[in-house]
Chain A
Amino acid sequence: MAALATSDLTTQTARWTRKDLLGLRELSAEEIRCILQTAGSFREISLRPIKKVPVLRGKTVVNLFFEASTRTRTSFELAAKRLSADIVNITPQHSSLSKGETVLDTVRNLEALKVDVLVIRHAAAGVPHLIAQHATSSVINAGDGAHEHPTQALLDLFTIQEKRGRIDGLNVSIIGDIAHSRVARSNIWGLTKLGAHVTVCGPPTLMPPQIEQLGSAAGGAGVAVTHDLSSAIRGADVLMLLRIQHERQEAMLIPSLREFRLRYGITRERLEAAKPDILIMHPGPVNRGVELDSSVADGPFSVILDQVTNGLAVRMAVLYLVSGAPKVDEEEG
């Protein structure tokens, strides 16, 4: 108890000063650690009988989802509510966007209603960045095209940190459709910045060109690329699986889902060669029997539901931090 209480007092974390969270690419390792530490403090709130703190009372958060989402939207909604913020959900089929209004006009109208935080998901890469340039409210990227999904990567980092006690030096293999995955990109940035060794594994048709250089621009080592699942499993501390979209088969990028499962699906047999304490992660929703067999998804190595629980704490932390950022810095008394 005493050790727990004072252990985190001496670790000084940098203050968060950004108005927006658009991606992990532009964050420093210190800023990522600041979010993870804050998330650790917020986790306890969801275990209370009264799961609410008054910290964002009077703030308004808008979930502006141009692309369908249930889990991320719900996670942000609960996160905002547990911080006592008011939240509005806007989906394209119920808004003026279907009447031809531009994205920026939608945002200008929301800002005229004095909202504080915009949580944005869009099928096109860069839309949250465009909005952030024009908005005075805070912008959180909840997934833009195949570009970034920062809160998903942060909850993955948080879960690895929680289960392994560290990220530095771990071997993490990301498996599946790397080319179309914003989760993979954000995770590559975050993991390499915090010192993990990242391997990406998938069929050549789902592997973007020059992926090995991603993460190296920030002074990181970049990522290793393999098309052989056994070598991605061997020595790995973490297997991060990605959802394989059925459209990829129609676009002829994979011969069939069955073929994909045979070469890249994680089965119990495949894991016999894995480290005994390997972590299996998946951002959801899982295609059972394609990228992941049920016996593994529900098995002892799976931390998929811990990821969901931690996602709530991470989104509470991000909402708290960006809401505090825009104001003028003052000295604390």
Chain B
Amino acid sequence: MNRVMDSEAIRRAVVRIAHEVLEHHKGTTGVALVGIRTRGAILAQRLAKEIEAIDRHPIQVGVLDITLYRDDLSRIGPHPIVRSTEIPFDVTDLRLILVDDVLFTGRTIRAALNALNDLGRPQTIQLAVLVDRGHRELPIRADYVGKNLPTSHAEHVEVRLNELDEAEEVVIETIVPVEGSRSWPP
């Protein structure tokens, strides 16, 4: 197990992304954050707090569950637990920023884009991630990255956040692949 980010590194990354978002969008008007369950939702809340602390204006935050849009549901069983999507505002014409913890194959983001498409027509959608570990399987990239992390397929990147895991860190673990299994984030 190799710890690549501690709580201070995570905090600094979120603060930097908050500054970058404000710089790019010149404020918070017409901008909203959408966190992808589970850890992306927590990071979106933290990012919103930092943005509000810097800009002194509120920013809307929603939570997206992408389970119903996964591309592997017919291959896995039993079906995963569906959590609720809570986006208490109309996304049409907003500039949305999707927030997730780890960007890996890009399939989660593909599912999130389709889910958002069913909720309305945003003006733009950007992507913010705490860690980009590479190995994309789809033409997707992040606009805001906390840390670029070169990894191998045999490694597993785990983000642990206080709200959920009683720890605050990012670690890389080497996994022993199970015969015949095909993993898919998160």
Contacts and interface: CB of A to CB of B under 8 A. Distances in A.
B81 A13 contact: yes
Interface residues of B, number: 40
A326 B77 contact: yes
Dominant secondary structure of chain B at its interface with chain A: loop
Interface string B114-153: 1000111000000000000000000000000000000000
A54 B69 contact: yes
A48 B118 contact: yes
Given A331-B178, A332-B76, A320 B38 contact: no
A212 B86 CA distance: 43
B159 interface: no
A5 B45 contact: yes
Contact of B79 (A37, A48, A321): A321
A327 B61 contact: no
B77 A6 contact: no
Contacts of A37: 81
Contacts, number: 104
Given A5-B63, A17-B78, A329-B77, A44 B183 contact: no
B63 A38 contact: no
Given A6-B164, A41-B84, A53-B118, A15 B78 contact: yes
A327 B114 CA distance: 25
Interface in B47-100: 61, 63, 65, 67-69, 73-86, 88
Contacts of A41: 65, 82-85
Contacts of B26: none
B82 A42 contact: yes
Given A9-B164, A53-B69, A54-B68, A324 B77 contact: yes
B80 A332 contact: yes
Given A1-B86, A332-B183, A48 B119 contact: yes
Nearest to A321: B79
B53 to A, nearest CB: 15
Contacts of B14: none
Nearest to B92: A49
Contacts of B106: none
Contacts of B103: none
Query: Taking each of B42, B69, B81, which has the highest tally of chain A beta carbons within 10 Å of its own beta carbon?
Result: B81
Contact of A333 (B114, B119, B120, B185): B185
Query: Taking each of B38, B74, B77, which has the highest tally of chain A beta carbons within 10 Å of its own beta carbon?
Result: B77
A323 B83 CA distance: 17
B182 interface: yes
A241 to B, nearest CB: 31
B2 interface: no
A54 B118 CA distance: 10
A63 to B, nearest CB: 21
A5 B35 contact: yes
A258 B164 CA distance: 59
A110 B58 CA distance: 56
A314 to B, nearest CB: 13
A126 B59 CA distance: 55
A6 B163 CA distance: 8
A43 B81 CA distance: 14
A263 B23 CA distance: 72
B79 A323 contact: yes
A34 interface: yes
A53 B115 CA distance: 8
Nearest to A8: B83
Contacts of A15: 78, 81
B183 A55 contact: no
Contacts of B181: 330-331, 333
Nearest to A38: B82
B81 A330 contact: no
B77 A327 contact: yes
A329 B78 CA distance: 6
22 contacts: A1-B45, A1-B88, A4-B86, A5-B35, A5-B41, A9-B83, A9-B164, A41-B82, A52-B118, A53-B118, A54-B69, A55-B73, A321-B78, A325-B78, A327-B75, A329-B77, A329-B78, A330-B76, A331-B183, A333-B182, A333-B184, A333-B185
